[in-house]
Amino acid sequence: MKTIFKAMAVALVATAALSTAAIAGPKDKPAQGKLLGDKDYQWNANGGEKDEAEHLKPDLKNGRDVYEVCAACHLPEGWGQTDGTFPQLAGQHPKVIIKQLADIRALNRDNPTMYPFALPDQIGGPQSIADVAAYIQKLKMNPEPGVGPGTDLEHGKKLYQDNCVRCHGQHGEGDNEKYYPRLEGQHYNYLMRQYQWIKEGKRRNANPDMVKQIQGFTDKDTSAVLDYVSRIKPPADKIGPKGWENPDFQ
C-alpha cells in the first residue's frame, strides 16, 4: 500500500511538471486584444507591448542586429519589393512600426508570412521592438518605389485631398504621435492590398474611421488615389541614392 502511494505521488508530480511545461509556452507570447468586428473594439486600445515599447529608449546598435531578421524579406535597405510583396519600411514612423509589430505578434493583425519572425524568440521583447523601430526610421527611403498605371492621377489627387489628408497629411507624411503611417513612396501594389483588406474588414487592427471613409470608393477610385499616393515624393533628405546598399549589412 505504501509503495502504491509513493508511486502515485511520483506520477502526480511528473504529471504536474508536464502540465506546467505545457502552460509556460503561450505565456511568452503577447495576448491578443479586441479586433475589428468584436464588440467594443476600439482602434489602438490594445495596449500591451506597444505601450511598453514606445516609452523605452531605443538602442540603434541592437536595432541593427534585430533588423537582420527583417532584412531577409524587407531587404537590408528597408526598401521592400517594388512589386509590393513586401512593403517599404525605411523612413516609417517609429510608433507605426511599434504598433504594427506588436499587433502582428499578438495576432491582432493577421500576417502568417511574417508572424514567426515577429515572435519574441526571434527578435526579443519590447526593448527590441523599440530598437528596430528606431533603426528603421533612420534608413533612407527607396528612390524608385513601385507605382500604379499613372492614367488617372488628377482624379486620385482630388480623392486624396477630400478623404485622406485629415489623417495621413497633405503630403502623405502620416503622423508619428497618432500612429498614422507615412504613405508617400510606399509601393502601389502593397497599398492596394492593404487598402482592400481594410475595406473588407480583413485587416483586423484597422481604424474603423478609415473602414467607413473608403466604403464608397469604386475600384477606379481606389486605383487612382493609391497611384497618386505611391508617386508622392518624400522630402529629399529622406530619400536614398539609386542603387544604395546598406553598409550595415555588407
Partner 1 sequence: MIVNKSRALAALVVLGGIAATPALAADGKALFTDKGCTACHGEDAKTPLEAGYPKLAGQNATYMVNQMKDIKAGKRANGLSPDTMKPILEEVSEEEMQALADYLASLGPIAGKGDSAHPGKKLYMTKTCIACHGKDGTKPIMKTYPFLAGQDKDYLIRQATDIKTSTRNHGLTNSMQPVMHLVTDEELAQIADFLANVK
CB closer to partner 1, 23 vs 45: 23
Nearest to 52 by CA among 113, 3, 115, 124: 124
Applying CB under 8 A, among 41, 43, 115, 197 the residue interacting with partner 1 is: 115
Contact 105, 162 (CB under 8 A): no
Quick one: cell of 123? 527578435
**x/- track of binding to partner 1 for residues 70-109 (CB under 8 A):** --xx-------x---x------------------------
**Range 109-116, long-range pairs (CB < 8 A, 24+ positions):** 109/203, 109/204, 109/205, 110/202, 110/203, 110/204, 113/73, 114/73
Instruction: Please state, in angstroms and rounded to a whole number, the distance separating the CA atoms of residues 162 and 168.
Output: 12
CB closer to partner 1, 17 vs 165: 17
Residue whose CB is less far from partner 1, 1 or 45: 1
Quick one: 4 or 45, whose CB is closer to partner 1?
A: 4
Binds partner 1 by CB under 8 A, chosen from 20, 113, 215, 250: 113
Q: How far is residue 150's CA from residue 127's CA, in Å, rounded to a whole number?
A: 41
**What are phi and psi for residue 141, nearest 5 degrees?**
-85, 160
d(CA 102, CA 97) in angstroms, rounded, equals: 8
Indicate which single residue of 2, 5, 26, 247 sits in contact with partner 1 (rule: CB under 8 A).
5
**Site residues for partner 1, window 8-67 (CB under 8 A)?**
8, 11-12, 14-15, 18
Chosen residue from 26, 112, 243, 247 binding partner 1 by CB under 8 A: 112
Instruction: Give me 196's grid cell.
Output: 482592400
Shortest CB 87 distance to partner 1, Å? 12
Residue 124 in the binding site for partner 1 (CB under 8 A): no
Q: Which is nearer to partner 1, 113 or 250 (CB)?
A: 113
CB of 133 closer than 8 Å to CB of 58: yes
Residue of 116, 149, 150, 235 interacting with partner 1 (CB under 8 A): 116
Considering only residues 179 to 238 of the shown chain, the ones binding partner 1 according to CB under 8 A are none
Are 69 and 122 in contact, with CB atoms under 8 Å apart? yes
DSSP H helices in the chain = 2-27, 49-53, 60-74, 94-105, 115-118, 120-123, 126-138, 153-163, 165-168, 188-200, 208-213, 219-230
Out of 32, 44, 122, 127, name the contact with partner 1 by CB under 8 A: 122
Question: In 10 A of CB 70, how many CB atoms?
Answer: 23
Stretch that binds partner 1, among 20-28, 113-121, 164-172, 224-232 (CB under 8 A): 113-121
List the interface residues with partner 1, window 145-174 (CB under 8 A): none
Q: Which residues contact partner 1 by CB under 8 A? A: 1, 4-5, 7-8, 11-12, 14-15, 18, 72-73, 81, 85, 112-113, 115-117, 122
